[in-house]
Amino acid sequence: MPKDKLQGTLDLLVLQTLARGTQHGYGITCHILAASGQQLRVEEGSLYPALRRMESAGLIKAEWARSENNRRARYYQLTKKGAKLLAEETRSWEARIAAVRAFLEFA
């Protein structure tokens, strides 16, 4: 999928990924790629600024921990505020999809 179509949905993807548990940046890109059937490739240049921005906004929090291969990695975790926003964003995304579908199917 082209990069510009991901704009605005990146937060949703990250929040949804973290709703499954804490994860580091690399793990987030892997999950998004796998769960989208290799369709959504998040670029590092978008991901890390977005993570910092969301951290500043209090949607996620981060701490350093050991990764699976025993290296220090920064693990991100959903906050209450983030979980609330995820629910809202999911609803609004579905409403938008439904609206566009209804429009396209209008005969």
Partner 1 sequence: MFRRLMNSLRRKQLEAEIQEEIEFHRSQTAGSFGNVTAIQEQTRDASAIVWLETFVQDVRIAFRLLRRTPSLTGIALLSTALSVGATAVVFTAVKAVLLKPLPYSRPSELVQLRTRFTGAAPSHNDWVFWNDTQEIVRRTRTLRFVGIYGNAVFDLGGGAYPPKHSTVFESLPAYFPPSGFRPC
Residues that bind partner 1 (CB under 8 A): 24-26, 29, 43-45, 48-53, 55-56, 67, 71-74
Give the strand pairing for 60-66 and 23-24: unpaired
Instruction: Give the C-alpha separation, 44 to 85, whole Å.
Output: 23
Least separation, in Å, of the C-beta of 69 and partner 1? Answer: 8
> What are the start-end ranges of the H helices in the chain?
3-6, 10-18, 25-35, 44-56, 80-104
Instruction: Give the C-alpha separation, 92 to 102, whole Å.
Output: 15
